[in-house]
Every structure is written in structure tokens, then in C-alpha cells.
């Protein structure tokens, strides 16, 4: 089973590239983040034409998540219990579905903006409540849970091109890194770290991609049973090239289930 995750930075702007990626990669499941569209305009018909079911959550031109699957998604759930709000709204940042026996979570973790911004505490609270949700899932006996997407955390110094540039900024602060690492306390495993190298995001500005001045912030946490089933991991750096590329690239994980 091939499962991929990708922050596409607008599904409507990137539709042709996503369709081409599905054809090229032969992914069974694709978790998408930052769809930037309402559910009613999500291009479900275009994906159905090439053999993919879809489920999506989106309320405006910001945020938004989706799951594409060759098998029909079961038990679709938007967000999670006690999800924090921002400006009194539960943002569309998480969607879950069971695809071919694997419980998939497509996640777009809040950015944080700045260490003294309210969005930063929102980010920490969001990750804490997500951990509570994951813990409850595991306690219920769920042993095929995979949480993937744009986590907006660089867990180690090597995950950014220059730590000096990120000094006193989000994504690399100790509380964020601790919140990310806390999922391993549940017995979950980040399955891509030791199996693939490279960044997953490059800012559009200042020629960051040609200079390879990037960040690694797209991850997949999975249960121990799924971790043991991983056979290969790829970071599709080529997808960052060419006209109309997202600022993130797909991360692809193969499982022998």
C-alpha cells in the first residue's frame, strides 16, 4: 500500500500537478493539506474520473485538508474532540478516514507565526489535543493509525538549512519540538526520518529552492505495527521544480500490509 502526503498550497491552482502525481506515483492514498477552498468547490469529480474517492474539509480560501483514496474512505471524521479554536472558530486542519484498513489523518498543523503571537499558543494547544486524540485511538485498540501532513515543526537542527536564520522563531522552538516528540511517548513512530533524507519545503522567496535553503516539516507518525510494515520512503524533490509548483513536495511511504 502506497500512502503519500502533500501540502499542495491550493488544490485548484495545483489540480493538474496533483493529477499527474497520482498517475506517476500510483499512490493508493494521498493526504492533502492547504486545499484553500470550500468543500463544495473541491474538485472531487476530477479525482473520481481517475479512480479516486475523496473526502475534504474546507470553509474558505485558507487552510483545508482532504484525503484521496482508491478504496472508498470509511468513518470520515473532521477535526477531533476538544480541538482548540482560533478567533472562536474550529479551523479545517484535520480530517480522518479509514482507507483499506488504515486509519489516515491528514493534518495541517497551525503555523504559530511568532513566539509572542496568540497563534503560537494555539499551535501548542492544537498539538496537545491531537496527542490526546491519538492516545484515545490507541487505547481503543487502533493499531493501524497514521497521522501525516504539514506539521510545521522542524524537530532537529538539521531540518532547517541554517539554524542561525531561525533563531528565536517558530518551528524550531523547544516547546514545539517537545509537542512533536510527545507522540513518540505514545509508542508511535515517525516513519520517514531514518528512511529518507532531504527537505520537504522551500520558501518561494529569495531563490530558496535553487539554493536548497529549505526545511523538513512534513512528517508521518504511525503505530508500531505500521512502522514495521514500511518498505520504502521517498521525498519527491522533483515536484518542487517547474511552473506552478507548490512550496512543499510529496512524501511517499510504502507499506507491506
**Binding site listing for Mg(2+):** 7, 34, 150, 152, 247-248
- Provide the grid cell at 186: 505514545
Instruction: Answer yes or no: 150 catalytic.
Output: yes
- Provide the grid cell at 234: 521517498
CB 106 within 8 A of CB 113: no
DSSP-H helix ranges across 9-158:
15-25, 44-49, 118-139
**Catalytic residue, candidates 52, 108, 120, 199:** 108
Binding-site annotation: residue ranges: 7, 34, 150, 152, 247-248
Closest CA to 179 of 255, 78, 84, 62: 84
Q: How far is CA 183 from the centre of its chain?
A: 15
**Catalytic residue, candidates 199, 201, 248, 254:** 248
Instruction: Answer yes or no: 248 catalytic.
Output: yes
Closest CA to 38 of 14, 11, 71, 74: 11
Active-site residue list? 108, 150, 248
Amino acid at each position: 500500500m502506497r500512502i503519500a502526503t502533500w501540502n499542495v498550497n491550493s488544490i485548484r491552482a495545483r489540480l493538474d500537478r496533483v493529477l499527474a502525481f497520482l498517475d506517476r506515483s500510483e499512490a493508493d492514498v494521498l493526504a492533502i493539506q492547504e486545499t484553500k477552498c470550500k468543500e463544495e468547490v473541491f474538485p472531487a469529480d476530477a479525482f473520481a474520473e481517475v479512480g479516486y474517492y475523496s473526502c475534504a474539509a474546507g470553509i474558505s480560501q485558507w487552510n483545508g485538508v482532504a484525503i484521496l483514496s482508491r478504496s472508498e474512505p470509511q468513518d470520515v471524521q473532521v477535526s477531533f474532540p476538544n480541538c482548540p479554536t482560533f478567533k472562536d472558530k474550529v479551523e479545517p486542519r484535520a480530517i480522518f478516514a479509514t482507507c483499506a484498513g488504515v486509519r489516515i489523518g491528514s493534518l495541517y498543523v497551525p503555523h504559530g507565526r511568532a513566539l509572542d503571537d496568540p497563534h503560537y499558543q494555539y499551535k501548542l494547544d492544537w498539538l496537545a489535543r491531537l496527542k490526546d486524540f491519538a492516545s484515545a485511538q490507541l487505547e481503543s485498540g487502533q493499531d493501524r493509525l497514521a497521522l501525516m501532513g504539514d506539521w510545521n515543526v522542524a524537530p532537529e537542527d538539521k531540518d532547517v538549512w541554517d539554524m542561525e536564520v531561525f533563531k528565536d522563531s517558530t518551528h524550531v522552538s523547544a516547546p514545539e519540538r517537545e509537542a512533536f516528540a510527545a507522540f513518540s511517548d505514545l509508542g508511535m513512530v515517525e516513519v520517514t526520518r531514518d528512511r529518507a533524507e532531504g527537505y520537504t519545503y522551500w520558501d518561494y522567496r529569495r531563490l530558496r529552492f535553487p539554493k536548497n535553503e529549505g526545511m523538513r516539516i512534513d512528517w508521518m507518525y504511525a503505530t508500531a505495527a505500521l512502522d514495521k510494515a514500511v518498505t520504502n520512503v521517498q521525498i519527491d524533490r522533483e515536484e518542487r521544480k517547474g511552473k506552478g509548483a507548490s512550496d512543499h513536495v510529496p512524501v511517499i511511504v510504502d507499506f507491506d500490509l
